[in-house]
Amino acid sequence: MMSRSPRLNPEETERIYTGEYFDSIYDYHWFINNQRKFRERNENILRMLEPQREDVILEVGCSTGPTTRYIARMARKVIGIDFSPIAVEKARAKSAEEGVDNTEFHVADVSDMSCIPDNQIDKVVAIDLVEHIYDNVLIGMFRECYRVLRQGGTLSILTPNRNHYVEVLKAHNFILKQFPSHIAVRRPEEIKEVLISSGAPFDIDMEYFFSNAYPVFRLLDKAFMGLPLIGPWFRWRYCLRLRKPSCGGQGTV
């Protein structure tokens, strides 16, 4: 397992997660943040989440709430939590501006979601979150998600794959530099190790990879991601869906 510090200190948090940060991360860019990237991201969210009209859904690490608002039109209620008061303030303002009245936002740490009662959530979604948090926070997140989910409920995770060649280059500061906020990009097996350490007895319900959305480079991913040996280098994003067992099951992880 990768060695990681326990959590960002307040000075690092304040330096990285500014209002400008939250304003910029969803800005359109023809290469880095192109329309295909956001479209395929949403498609994979729906594939894992499978939202239903009666669902109460929790988004952990909701940022300014674009995913919260996106899935709110397909669910009864969507709750978003984020540790940043700036992000939550922006999320509330954007929901009000867009007239999305079935969302609710809280300032909370994902490892301590005491604002959410036990067994009240149908589905939890964590989109591009776990690469922003250290192992001890992720352990707490797994435990808290298990606590708040109803029996049979799911936790869906979408995150960068540390094995992808882009992440390998960033990790070695070669050609590309890692985003300062990406403090814990993990391999799939490392995420599972943290899950086991958490003791939350989830079942693995679904896992798969998809290719990047960058022009030209996405063709490389699609061509090579299914090959033996070199395939892991071309699997850009990792999607994992966990399920809380029904009827007192013990889980398989």
Which residue carries 């992000």 as its tokens?
87
Give the C-alpha separation, 159 to 138, whole Å.
Answer: 13
**What is the band of 83 on the pLDDT scale with cuts at 50, 70, 90?**
very high
Q: Tokens for 44, please give them.
A: 């994979």
The full set of domain ranges for the chain reads: 10-243
How many other C-beta atoms are found inside a 10 Å radius of the C-beta of residue 159?
22
Q: Which of 11-25, 178-192, 206-220, 233-247 has the lowest mean pLDDT?
A: 11-25
Range name among 25-34, 87-96, 138-147, 198-207 with the lowest pLDDT average: 25-34
Tens-place pLDDT, residues 23-51: 888 888 888 889 999 999 999 999 999 99
How many angstroms separate the CA atoms of 80 and 6, rounded?
A: 24
Over pLDDT 90: what percentage of the chain? Answer: 85
Looking at residue 3, its pLDDT comes to 47
Q: Which residue has the higher pLDDT, 32 or 194?
A: 194
Fold of 10-243: Rossmann fold (3.40.50)
Residue 124 pairs with which residues in a beta bridge?
A: 58, 155
